[in-house]
Amino acid sequence: MPPRPCQLCSNNRAMIKRPKTGQQVCKECFFFAFEEEIHKTISDANTFKRGERVAIGASGGKDSTVLAHVMKTLNERHDYGLELFLLSIDEGITGYRDDSLETVKRNKEQYQLPLKILSYNELYGWTMDRIVEAVGKKNNCTFCGVFRRQALDRGASSLNISHIVTGHNADDVAETVLMNILRGDVSRLGRCVEITTRGEDTINRSKPFKYTYEKEIVMYAYFKKLDYFSTECIYSPEAYRGFARTYIKDLEALRPSTIIDIIHSAENIRISEVVQDALPKQQKCQRCGYISSNELCKACVLLQGLEKGTAKMAIGSKAKHVSQEVSSDTRTIPMFKMPDQQVRNNQTNQTNQAKQSV
């Protein structure tokens, strides 16, 4: 069979069948389309401001490694004017995170980007290994997820960074949409497909890979020969998520556009006003100052459970019964402080709004 020409440039030999479009393209056209689609996602959503300090959430895995590479490339090619940093969280998982952090350290050298590593132990006084000892493997993802979210924001805040980009790809977003439907979480159903989540009391989060297929990220890393760590976490996720993940993969095999179709569905959903009115209002945690929908944020509740030896009580609906009193010798999370830049931006926005209203 003669070699097929690239369906984009018609000159070179096609080497890749893109899962996203079904087109057969050459390597160069694939790189071009992959990078420019991400640029389009970023520019259409006005994701960054010129001069912004942006942290790339780096775990050493394929998504964050490709993200660091692409962000650096696009920042130079399209002159975004961003100051980029690598930000890693060390959850304290022996045989997994310590190895992947070595990859991040190599990425630091390869891309010449400053790196900050913040550990759970430093922030909460607990490592994931110890948490798993205390709560078992069944619910440990709850602790890890909640702690990581805060840790990233606190790490960014310490670097005076007001924007974090993460390597969540289209497959992850589709899986999140599905999980939110399965657990009836309509408020997050709408929010989980936003490219950037912004708030006055939170650090901006963006997902430049929102429309990028996981398979294409792997292909990009493979053909660019990028250095990444590919082992799954040793504390595997819960069975319920396993159903959703397998379902998404099987759907993709049946109809490759399904991943994007799920995102299209979620982007076009409106939540009933009655449901929206019933949602809890955002406030600041009374103990650590981090954004929360209750008086105490989830991380403080979980940490208190760990410290008191009642960690399982702090998960799910049982958390309502956890006492908010804390003795003076119990470890708590330090007060959260928004980065100065973000505070300044918020103040400017408020002043502008006041001027407009006048």
Partner 1 sequence: MSCSNPQSEVKDPGADIPERRTKPKNNQCIKCKTAAPVIQIRHALYCRECFVYATSGKFLKWFLSNFKPNDVHPVFYVAVSGGPSSRYLLQLLHTQMSPRKGKGSFIRPGSAEKLVVIYVDQSKVVPGAENLRNHIEDMVKDFPSVEIIEADVSESWKGSQASISAYLSGQPGQPPSATASEPTADLFDSTLSTSSQESHLALLTHHIILREARKHADSLLGKDSTAPLFLGTSATRVTIKLLSSMSRGRGWSVGSGEVQPESTQYGLNVYQPLLNTSSKEIAYYNRFAIPAHSQAVVNRSFTTFSPPKSSIDRLTEELVVSLERGFPSTVSTVARTGNKISFAGETKEGERLCTLCGWPARAKANEWKNGIAITKLAGEEDESNPLADMLCYGCYTNLTDSRARSHVNYALPGWTDEYAEKQKVTESEMRKEIEDCLIDDNDNDNE
45 counts as binding partner 1 under rule CB under 8 A: no
Residue 46 touches partner 1, criterion: CB under 8 A? no
Q: Residue 304, interface with partner 1 (CB under 8 A)? A: no
**Interface pattern 104-143 for partner 1 (x via CB under 8 A):** -----------------------------------x-xx-
Residue 204 as a binder of partner 1 (CB under 8 A): the answer is no
**Site mask for partner 1 (CB under 8 A), range 210-249, x = bound:** -x--------------------xx--xxxxxx-x---x--
| Distance, C-alpha 8 to centroid of its chain | 32
Among 14, 71, 82, 178, binds partner 1 (CB under 8 A): 178
Only one of the segments 106-114, 268-276, 283-291, 303-311 lies at the binding site for partner 1 (rule: CB under 8 A); that segment is 268-276
Q: Measured from the CB atom, is 44 or 109 closer to partner 1?
A: 44
User: Tokens in use for 35?
Assistant: 């990078």
Residue from 3, 95, 184, 280 that binds partner 1 (CB under 8 A)? 184
Name the strand (E) or helix (H) holding 327: none
Amino acid at site 294: N
Q: For residue 55, which amino acid is it?
A: A
Least distance in Å: CB of 12 to partner 1?
13
Nearest Cα neighbor of 265 from 170, 166, 335, 183 is 170
Q: Are residues 210 and 170 in contact, defined by beta-carbon separation less than 8 angstroms?
A: yes
Please enumerate, as own/partner, the contacts of 346-352 that have beta carbons within 8 Å and a separation of 24 or more: 346/200
- Give the nearer residue to partner 1 in terms of CB position, either 158 or 353: 158
Distances (CA, A) of 147 to 3, 127, 155, 280, 299: 51, 10, 12, 21, 6
Nearest approach, Cβ of 18 to partner 1 (angstroms)? 8
Q: Rule CB under 8 A: is residue 296 a binding residue for partner 1?
A: no
Does 292 participate in binding partner 1 (rule CB under 8 A)?
Answer: no
Phi and psi at 289, nearest 5°, equal 80, 5
All residues at 6 or more sequence positions from 251 whose CB lies less than 8 Å from its CB, including other chains: 258, 259
The answer to whether 147 and 178 have CB atoms below 8 angstroms apart is no
306: closest CA among 276, 267, 332, 286? 332
Q: Which listed residue (54, 74, 89, 291) binds partner 1 by CB under 8 A?
A: 89
- Min CB(220)–partner 1 separation in Å: 14
Which window, 112-120, 180-188, 328-336, 339-347, contacts partner 1 (CB under 8 A)? 180-188
Among residues 82 and 89, whose Cβ is nearest to partner 1? 89
Cβ distance to partner 1 smaller for residue 95 or 354: 95
The dihedral sign for the CA sequence 2, 7, 10, 12:
negative
Binding-site residue numbers for ATP are 57-59, 63, 89, 167, 172
